[in-house]
Amino acid sequence: MQNTNFKIPPSIYSLQNTIMKKLCMLGVFIGASLTGFTQCEKASVSKTSTGRFIQENAKQPDFPFEGTVTIGNGKIILNGNIAGQPLSISNTISNVALCNWKEYLQNGQAVYKVSTDKGNGNLENSIITITGKDGKVKILFTSESDEKSGLELDIVETQIEKT
């Protein structure tokens, strides 16, 4: 025989409602966070025109750098040439540390933590920072061990894949 006189205390309902509200808020927060970072992983191809080396935070003279920067499939790939020497660097995105764009690849900033393969089989932890202000976009490639030195490129044109 079942006891039909058992009643659930009202405090259990209150606790259940509180837990459900917190879970819903957590879901909204996670969804908003993922949407922001997803923006920084949109497939795109950008063309570069000029570049400069940076040593100890000091910009060196500009030089012509005709190349492309491709973002997609969890990678950022740089292809071009410096002084007639071909350059191809593949970066696997391990973390999107910052994604703050008002207009993707136009106004805002993104910071990617990547694992870089410079073609010799050795992997290096690196940071790629893309900064755009008033439509002028620069991309900076630095080593995680030396963030004061790197290669900065000017982006002149970007094609963003429509999703």
- Average pLDDT (28-53) is 69
- Specify the pTM: 0.74
pLDDT digits (tens, 9 = 90+) for 2-20: 555 656 555 555 555 555 5
Q: Which of 85, 89, 78 is nearest to 48 (CA)?
A: 78
Residue range 44-160 in CATH 3.30.43 = no
The domain locations on the chain are 44-160
**pLDDT at 84 exceeding the cut of 70:** yes
Q: Which of 27, 30, 149, 36 is nearest to 96 (CA)?
A: 36
How many C-alpha atoms does 75 have within 13 Å on its Cβ side? 12
Residue-wise burial string across 9-23, b where 16 or more C-beta atoms lie within 10 A, e elsewhere? eeeeeeeeeeeeeee
What pLDDT, on a 0 to 100 scale, did the predictor assign at position 12? 55
User: Given phi > 0 = left and psi -120 to 50 = alpha, else beta, which region is 13?
Assistant: alpha
**pLDDT at 121 exceeding the cut of 50:** yes
Q: Which of 39, 51, 154 is nearest to 104 (CA)?
A: 39
- Average pLDDT (85-90) is 88
- Average pLDDT (68-81) is 92
Assign 70 to helix, strand or coil: strand
Distance of alpha carbon 28 from alpha carbon 157, whole angstroms: 35
E strand or H helix at 98, and its extent?
strand 85-103
